[in-house]
Structure 1
Amino acid sequence: MVDGRVYGPNGEREFGEVQIGKGVRPMAQHGQLHVATGTLTLRDSGGGLIDEAPVSEVSANRVRFTGGRTVALRMGGDRYHVSPGWGDRGDLLTRRPERVAKAADDLLNLIETGGGTVR
């Protein structure tokens, strides 16, 4: 795992320690976001399924007031805010915003490469 991302042999990627919310309601502080075989999957802190959708049907944009560290996702009509790496327990006091922003960039690139819409 490098910066919360696991790279698999077929290009799949997993972002760990993802803060996931829906509106103002937090859904997972230490969730997971997995991109594999053309599907984006959100899982809660216990590994339970929150939502999944084909990457080509996902739209995403950077949330400006967070300094680019949070991505707004629209998946099948539902909207989520995700911050890859933001829930990292090991980096609690020295959480590096640039690392979280880099993970957000990587996520946006994956969505765009997979045929999704990035604004």
Structure 2
Amino acid sequence: MADNGRLIFDQVQIGKGLRPIAQHGYIVIERGVLTLLGTDQRPIDSAPMNAIQAAPVRFTRGQTVALTMNGTKYNVAPGWGGHAGQLVLPGDTRQVKSAAEYILKLVQAH
């Protein structure tokens, strides 16, 4: 969702490797800076877009993006937090994949 030049992705699963950090986190992009926020909306990490490395996580079929920020690698899956406790059938994840692809393109464009 865009708000006054701010782009916000909510319901983001954020993790370091296999360790989850936030189930219902946020990614906020504003003025060329990407910020990861936890479920409680407290900052996890922040960096200028041109200083972030991004790549798709292959075994998730493009639904998760690996972001390296300030030397730390995070796995982010936008949209997955909203599926907690629910059965997600194959083919029901289009919005998740498109959000992940959009984040990847935004970071790579800088």
Normalised TM-score (structure 2)? 0.90
Q: Helix, strand or coil: the match of 1:88?
A: helix
* Aligned position for 2:75: 81
1:14 Cα deviation after fit = 0.4
| 1:9 equivalent in alignment to 2:4 | yes
| 1:57 equivalent in alignment to 2:51 | yes
1:89 Cα deviation after fit = 4.6
Unaligned runs of 5+ in 2: none
**Identity among equivalent pairs (%):** 42
> What are the within-5 Å matches in structure 2 for residues 81-100 of structure 1?
81-89=75-83, 92-94=86-88, 96-100=92-96
* Aligned position for 1:29: 23
Unaligned runs of 5+ in 1: 1-5
Q: Distance in 1 between matches of 2:24 and 2:84?
A: 12
1:93 Cα deviation after fit = 3.4
Q: Distance in 1 between matches of 2:75 and 2:53?
A: 12
* Aligned position for 1:3: none
CA RMSD of aligned residues (A): 1.7
State the 4+ residue runs in structure 1 displaced beyond 4 angstroms: none
* Aligned position for 2:35: 41
Q: Helix, strand or coil: the match of 2:81?
A: coil
Between stretches 91-100 and 31-40, larger displacement belongs to 91-100
Q: 1:76 to 1:41 in 2, by over 3 A?
A: same
1:90 Cα deviation after fit = 8.3
Q: 1:89 to 1:65 in 2, by over 3 A?
A: closer
